[in-house]
């Protein structure tokens, strides 16, 4: 079973992750992880913190001579900002920020300084999850599985252009400061972020994630917690500030007749049994159905406002402005990269469950045996 734990605070010494269950024999280098960490850090709308951090992972265990040895992988990402905080006199935070873990966390753990909550609740933790996702992507690529994402909305600006996951499109998305495919919408999105910054406000948006070449039958309808749609939704919803997850047509299904929601089955040349459309987003009955998995995640606007909302100072009991922390104005592009990587973890976990194998060689043998078996239907 593939599983992980992370630890580390936003301004602590480092983030750490232990990832277990990756089969032996997978080629893995720190650069594979650093590539993903770098992608997470860019994007229009980020704050100063991302200029300080140049995230790099160290592989502390689980790899010998560039290959995994089935032992738990220990990953370490140092926080460069930690040095700056060592000599700093940091006053306690006492006015909880609406939209954050601040109030509930302080009451729950009986803290007197809200910083004890925000240090761990912060999305800095997602760097560790991206590092884990990077390893999982490496495993998935052995099976020709690739995961993509793009921004489809920032504020009220939407990019509804279709995408074909073609390399040319991917290059455009990766080079866009907001990770948007359409150039005109990109400019509009940038303007929205600038306007929010100028008025001391923040903006959210929607990212779309696609996973291609997924074999039929990952996940299962057998129990509630084995369903792939539920598992992917949990993975995405657990990213800080994600408030809704959609699969395929998503919330639109509620208003459409069945004939416009379900995907007809036919014999497609070169593929065998397949669907003529992909409105289900690649998942039916809690299992992958062989089509591209298409997910969307909606991110709320960043909760730390430079023009802070009203709160109560927990020390004085009086009305106060919420505390202001150094902060992003919009982190939707970064959320897309994080989303790809949490999806990678969940898909790698489902692949490992389905095909097992202590070594990559064994896992591949099982995979090929299965794909041959289903091709005979």
Ligand X SMILES: Cc1cc2nc3c(=O)[nH]c(=O)nc-3n(C[C@H](O)[C@H](O)[C@H](O)COP(=O)(O)O)c2cc1C
CB closer to ligand X, 122 vs 288: 122
Position 278 contacts ligand X (CB under 6 A): no
Position 328 contacts ligand X (CB under 6 A): yes
Please list every residue from 44 through 73 that binds ligand X, using CB under 6 A. Answer: 47
Distance of CA 110 to the CA centre of its chain: 31
Position 145 contacts ligand X (CB under 6 A): no
**Shortest distance (Å) from residue 229 CB to ligand X:** 20
Of these, 302, 347, 350, 363, which contacts ligand X (CB under 6 A)? 302
- 323's tokens: 């505390």
- 185's tokens: 């919408």
Of these, 79, 122, 323, 352, which contacts ligand X (CB under 6 A)? 122
**Shortest distance (Å) from residue 7 CB to ligand X:** 17
CB closer to ligand X, 57 vs 360: 57
Strand 14-20 with 3-7, pairing: antiparallel
**Shortest distance (Å) from residue 333 CB to ligand X:** 9
Helix (H) or strand (E) holding 371: helix 360-375
Of these, 28, 37, 76, 101, which contacts ligand X (CB under 6 A)? 101
Q: How many residues bind ligand X (CB under 6 A)?
A: 21
The two counts, helices (H) then strands (E), for the chain are 11, 17
Question: Strand (E) positions, 103-238?
Answer: 146-154, 157-158, 205-212
Helix/strand/coil for 245: strand
Residue 87: Cβ within 10 Å count: 6
CB closer to ligand X, 151 vs 240: 240
Residue 21: Cβ within 10 Å count: 18
CB closer to ligand X, 59 vs 189: 189
Alpha-carbon distance 26 to 42, whole Å?
A: 28
Contact residues toward ligand X (CB under 6 A) are: 47, 99-101, 121-123, 126, 239-241, 300, 302-304, 327-328, 331, 334-335, 338
């Amino acid at each position: 079973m593939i599983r992980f734990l992370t630890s580390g605070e936003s301004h602590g010494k480092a983030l750490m992750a232990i990832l277990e269950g990756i089969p032996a024999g997978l080629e893995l280098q720190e650069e594979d992880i650093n590539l993903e960490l770098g992608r997470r850090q860019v994007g229009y709308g980020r704050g100063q913190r991302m200029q300080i951090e140049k995230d790099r992972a160290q592989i502390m265990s689980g790899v010998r001579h560039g290959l995994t040895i089935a032992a738990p992988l220990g990953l370490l990402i140092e926080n460069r900002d930690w040095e700056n905080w060592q000599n700093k006199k940091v006053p306690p935070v006492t006015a909880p920020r609406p939209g954050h873990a601040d109030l509930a966390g302080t009451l729950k753990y009986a803290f007197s300084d809200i910083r004890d909550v925000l240090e761990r609740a912060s999305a800095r933790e997602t760097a560790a999850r991206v590092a884990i996702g990077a390893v999982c992507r490496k495993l998935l690529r052995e099976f020709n599985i690739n995961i993509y994402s793009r921004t489809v909305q920032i504020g009220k600006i939407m990019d509804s252009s279709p995408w074909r996951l073609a390399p040319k499109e991917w290059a455009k998305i990766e080079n866009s400061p907001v990770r948007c495919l359409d150039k005109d919408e990109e400019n509009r999105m940038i303007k929205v972020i600038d306007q929010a910054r100028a008025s001391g406000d923040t903006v959210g948006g929607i990212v779309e994630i696609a996973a291609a070449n997924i074999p039929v039958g990952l996940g299962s309808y057998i129990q509630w917690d084995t369903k792939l749609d539920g598992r992917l939704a949990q993975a995405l919803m657990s990213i800080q500030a994600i408030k809704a997850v959609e699969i395929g047509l998503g919330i639109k299904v509620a208003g459409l007749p069945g004939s416009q929601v379900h995907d007809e089955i036919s014999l497609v040349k070169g593929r065998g049994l397949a669907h003529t459309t992909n409105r289900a987003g690649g998942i039916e009955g809690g299992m992958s159905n062989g089509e591209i998995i298409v997910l969307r995640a909606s991110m709320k606007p960043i909760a730390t406002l430079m023009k802070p909302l009203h709160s109560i100072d927990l020390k004085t009991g009086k009305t106060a402005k919420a505390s202001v922390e150094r902060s992003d104005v919009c982190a939707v592009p970064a959320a897309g990269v994080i989303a790809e990587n949490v999806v990678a973890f969940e898909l790698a976990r489902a692949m490992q469950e389905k095909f097992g194998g202590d070594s990559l060689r064994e896992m591949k043998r099982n995979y090929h045996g299965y794909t041959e078996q289903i091709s005979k239907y």
